Amino acid sequence: MAGKTTKHELKSNTVPAMVTVGPVALLLLFLVVAPLIFVAVMSFCETDEFYNVVYSFTAENYAKLVSPEYIKIYAQSLLIAFITTVLCVLIGYPFAYIIARTKSKKKQLLYMLVIIPFWTNSLIRIYGWRTFLGSSGWLNKLLVFLNITPEPLDLLYKTGTTVLGMVYCFIPFMVLPLYTAIEKLDTSLLEASGDLGAKPLNTLIEVILPLTSGGIFSGCIMVFIPCLGYFFVSNILGGGNTDMIGNLIERQFKSANNWPLGAALSIILIIVTLILVKIYQKLGGDMDSLGV
Amino acid sequence: MSTIVELTGVNKLYGTNHVVKDLNIKVDEGEFLTLLGSSGCGKTTTLRMIAGFEEPTTGSIKVEGESIEEKEPFERNVNTVFQTYALFPHKTIFDNIAYGLKMKKVPKAEIRERVLEMMEMVQLTGFENRYPSQLSGGQKQRVAIARALINRPRVLLLDEPLGALDLKLRKQMQLELKRLQKKLNITFIYVTHDQEEALTMSDRIAIMHDGVVDQLSTPTEIYEHPATRFVATFIGETNIYDGCVTSVHEGVATVTLENGAVKVKCDDSFSILEYATVSVRPEKMRFDSKMHEGFELVAVVKDYVYVGSVLKCIVSLPNGNELKIERLAGQELPQIGSRIYPYWEPEDGVLIHNDSYKIFKALDEIKLA
């Protein structure tokens, strides 16, 4: 009885859902849902000879997307995103492990090292890399000065350069979920494993990796998906040699001025993303750790 | 009986915090040794050093005569049962128990046979494919024990393994553990803060206090002949009197307390004018309506406490100290508020050197110098 009354009181004292959730819902409606519908509608439109969008219904844009040169770029995007993700795991895991297992004050410092780059715009940081790697950049100057190479190396505008920039941009997105997962790991499990005769490598394979797989998984999703759309990294560091889906979209909206085609490309990217998130969910991934 | 684990001069410091102080323990093969003490006394740290999770700051630890400081935990022939069980949540019960054998690359068929045999021994048959989260506390405990024992360790270390279980289950597991230990003839080093558990299960108990072993002896010896004031008060209930030895005659000392003189049996180590503590268990205390030879205590009956099997009489001395006396069967109960004369048979009391006495003596020597 008592429980029931409190429940009732609670309900009557609560601010109506319209007031609490309403404004947020309205905001989302205007800033997310409406533009998405707009993009979807536009992907079926045409352009006239002056590049103006003509509202009509045609599947031509989608038909264009299956041309071999586009498919090559999709494949390249997926490949670059995949390599980036793998490298992020390989570099990020040990780093996240060290931060999570450090007990002293150094932990704060290490954690800050991951966070601080966020304080500068990523575009500026990528330009920084271009300056650093350029033929008259510091790296080449140093290499020449140390007589390692007689002439400056051609480091820019290669697939590897794009991957480097991507890894650099996305490593915090990998480290943070990994850090959370490793932090949660019960130390006594590692002790138990060693106590039962497991060498450190066996403990890693049998206990640490399976118990932090959720973090690895979240990190991969957080890196792989945005990586497909990060056009400016391949623009600046890849110099147009390593185009990704993001670059195609950007070009349609800007230089090519073909908004309907760009919209169709965007829709494809959104669908790919949704499929990946769905797979993640199906495999038991935690949606909270993605921030959705 | 041969020594299987030997700690010599072991010290452990965390920064300036001296957790374990000059520990010397010899554990015999096949014995059940308990490290007993309240939290923060260094008992778990000691256990973790034997397991290899912590390194002693100084001193040496030997298992089977071999120094093991240089060995990693996975190279030691000891296994641990953790307080929190530390079962692998992503592995089935079968895989949890099989873990140690798998790491030793034992053939699969043999693993299967030994795991099933071990599961039967701890009464978990049929649980092979469950996960730890699907088990109750008592069942998890059994898995933890089975997982350690399957490796046939020479020494099993147990860190408060029953701490998280309820009283009834704990009592049952105490007997089961003891049975397993005798059956497998494995040396158990057991850490607990529960004195009853220690008294029930152990062959010997090491009572730790402030990083020091106060007494290492059999349960009976510890209960009946506590070596220090701390041990006397920590184990069971007792009445404590601090006083000064005023005479020693034929193995019986007269100790003058604030409330009058008493008599107690003693050995040669006590000398006249030494500060000492007398400890007498409530069941050894007597009282009478007249004063007994050698006992000058006078007390007033304050209360009676009924504790199931016995009736305890709480009496108060003139200085306000309270004593607990168990009533003898059929003894007439004086009214509350009436005057009684507590006494005991001199051999039923224990005389303990008072540590502060040593300090006084040292101060005296400094003054004389």
Instruction: Round the average pLDDT of chain B to a whole number and report it.
Output: 89
Chain A: give the shortest CA distance to residue B276, in Å.
45
Let me know: does A264 contact A245? Beta carbons within 8 Å: no
Chain A contact present for B90, CB below 8 A: yes
Q: Answer whether B103 sits within 8 Å of A211, measured CB to CB.
A: no
> Are B280 and B266 in contact, with CB atoms under 8 Å apart?
no
Place of tokens 């006397």: B232
- To the nearest whole Å, the CA of A174 is away from the closest chain B CA by 23
pLDDT at position B351: 93
The tens digit of pLDDT for each residue in B199-241 reads: 989 999 999 988 999 999 999 999 999 999 899 989 988 999 8
Listed in sequence order, the residues at least 6 apart from A211 whose beta carbon sits closer than 8 Å to its beta carbon are A181, A185, A189, B88, B89, B90
Interface check for A25 against chain B (CB to CB < 8 A): the answer is no
Segment B247-293, tens digit of pLDDT: 998 889 999 988 889 999 988 888 888 889 999 999 999 888 888 88
Residue B359's pLDDT is 65
Q: At what angle do helices B137-149 and B93-103 cross, to 10 degrees?
A: 20
| Of the candidates A204, A200, A205, A230, the residue with the CA atom closest to the CA atom of residue A85 | A230
**Which of A189, A190, A196, A217 to mutate to test binding with chain B, by most B CBs within 10 Å of its CB?**
A196
pLDDT for A4 equals 46
Smallest Cα distance from B367 to chain A, Å: 48
* B306 near A CB under 8 A: no
Co-location of B99 and B222 in the same domain: yes
- Tokens at B46, concatenated: 């000691």
Q: Give the residues of chain B that fall short of pLDDT 70.
A: 1, 355-362, 369
Residue A225: predicted pLDDT? 87
Q: What is the DSSP secondary structure assignment for residue A47, as one 8-state letter?
A: E
Is the same domain home to B283 and B185?
no
pLDDT, residue A1, reads 39
Report how far residue B132's alpha carbon sits from residue A182's, in angstroms, rounded to the nearest whole number: 20
B74:A206 CB<8 A: no
Domain of residue B344: give its range. Answer: 237-368
Do residues B206 and B213 make contact, with C-beta atoms less than 8 angstroms apart? yes
> Which H or E run contains B159?
strand B155-159
CA distance B94 to chain A (A): 15
Name every chain B residue with its beta carbon within 8 A of the beta carbon of A196. Answer: 74, 79, 99-100, 103, 147-148, 151
Residue B153 with chain A: CB contacts under 8 Å: none
Q: How far apart are CA A140 and CA A261, in angstroms?
A: 41
Q: State whether residue A192 sits within 8 Å of chain B by CB.
A: yes
Q: How far is residue A96 from each of residues A101, A167, A173, A222, B277, measured CA to CA in Å? A: 8, 15, 11, 15, 57
- Residues paired with residue A188 on neighbouring β-strands, in sequence order: none
By the 8 A CB rule, do B302 and B336 touch? yes
Last residue of a domain, one of B179, B212, B229: B229
Write B164-173 long-range contacts (CB < 8 A, 24+).
Answer: B164/B83, B164/B84, B164/B137, B165/B137, B165/B138, B165/B141, B166/B137, B169/B137, B169/B138, B170/B197, B173/B138, B173/B141
Asked if the structure places residue A29 within a domain, the reply is: no
Of B196, B229, B262, which residue is a domain's last? B229
- B211 and B330 belong to one structural domain: no
pLDDT in tens, chain A (292 residues): 344 444 455 555 667 777 888 889 999 999 999 999 999 999 998 888 777 888 888 888 888 888 888 888 888 889 999 999 999 999 999 999 999 988 878 888 888 888 888 888 888 988 888 888 887 888 888 888 888 888 877 878 888 888 999 999 999 999 999 999 999 899 999 999 999 989 999 999 999 999 998 889 889 988 998 898 888 888 888 877 778 888 888 888 888 888 899 999 999 888 988 888 888 888 776 666 665 4
Give the Cα-Cα-Cα angle B334, B339, B340 (nearest 5 degrees). Answer: 75
pLDDT of residue A89: 96
CA-based torsion, A48, A51, A52, A53: positive or negative:
positive
- Say whether residue B9 is in contact with chain A using an 8 A CB cutoff: no
Is there a domain that residue A53 lies in?
Answer: no
A197 vs B88: CB contact, 8 Å cut-off? no
Measured distance CA(A199)–CA(B99) in Å, rounded: 12
Is there a contact between A192 and B100 if contact means CB atoms under 8 Å apart? no
Task: Give yes or no for a contact between B30 and B186, defined as CB atoms under 8 angstroms apart.
Answer: yes
Q: Check whether residue B158 and residue B13 sit in a common domain.
A: yes
3-state secondary structure of B192: strand
Contacts of A188 in chain B (CB under 8 A): 82, 84, 86
CA A137 to chain centre: 28
Domain assignment of residue A196, yes or no: yes
Q: Are residues B184 and B90 in the same domain?
A: yes
Q: Which own/partner contact pairs does A110-115 have at CB distance under 8 Å and 24+ positions apart?
A: A111/A179, A114/A171, A114/A172, A114/A175, A114/A176, A114/A179, A115/A172
Distance from the B151 Cα atom to the nearest Cα atom in chain A, whole angstroms: 8
Q: What are phi and psi of B13, to 5 degrees?
A: -120, 135
Long-range contacts, stretch A78-83, CB < 8 angstroms, 24+ apart: A78/A228, A80/A159, A80/A162, A80/A163, A80/A166, A80/A227, A80/A234, A80/A242, A80/A244, A81/A166, A81/A223, A81/A224, A81/A225, A81/A227, A81/A228, A81/A244, A82/A224, A83/A163
DSSP H or E stretch at residue B67: strand B66-67
The tokens 């319209």 sit on which residue?
Answer: A18
Residue B73, min C-alpha distance to chain A (Å): 5
Contact B88 A194 (CB under 8 A): no
**Model pLDDT, residue B157:** 95
Q: Which of A39, A56, A38, A34 is nearest to A47 (CA)?
A: A56
In a domain, A175, yes or no: yes
- Counting residues of chain B whose pLDDT is more than 70, the rounded percentage is 97
Residue A39 lies in a domain: no
CATH number at residue B184: 3.40.50.300
B241 burial (CB, 10 Å; 0-12 / 13-18 / 19+) is: buried
Residue A43 at interface with chain B, using a CB cutoff of 8 Å: no
Return the CA Rg of chain A: 24
Nearest chain B residue to A209 by CA distance is B90
In angstroms, the CA B248 to CA B255 distance is 9
Give the CATH number for residue A106: 1.10.3720.10
Whether residue A275 lies inside any domain: the answer is yes
> Minimal Cα–Cα distance from A206 to chain B, Å?
9
Number of domains within chain A? 1
Question: Please, where are the H alpha helices in B83-131?
Answer: 93-103, 108-121
Q: How near does any CA of chain A get to the CA of B80, in Å?
A: 7
- Under 8 Å CB pairs connecting chains A and B tally to 59
CATH number, position B248: 2.40.50.140
Residue A198 and residue B89: Cβ atoms within 8 Å? no
Q: What is the end-to-end Cα distance of chain A in Å, rounded? A: 38
Strand ranges across the sheet with B32-36: B78-81, B155-159, B187-192, B32-36, B204-209, B212-217
Specify the number of domains making up chain B: 2
Check whether residue B242 and residue B185 sit in a common domain.
Answer: no
- Written as six digits, the tokens of A273 are 């993303």
* Chain A positions in Cβ-Cβ contact with residue B156 (cut-off 8 Å): none
Interface contact A191-B74, CB threshold 8 A? no
Same domain, residue pair B314 and B246: yes
Looking at the complex, does the CB of residue B72 fall below 8 Å from at least one CB of chain A?
yes
Residues of B in contact with A192 (CB under 8 A): 80, 82, 86-88
Instruction: Confirm whether A5 is domain-assigned.
Output: no
The H or E element spanning position A188 is helix A187-195
Q: Which chain B residue has the Cα nearest residue A202?
A: B103
Tell me the residue type at B37: G
Return the residue of B nearest to A211 by Cα. Answer: B90
Looking at the domain assignment, is residue A61 inside a domain? no
Residues of chain B with C-beta less than 8 angstroms from the C-beta of A193: 88, 99
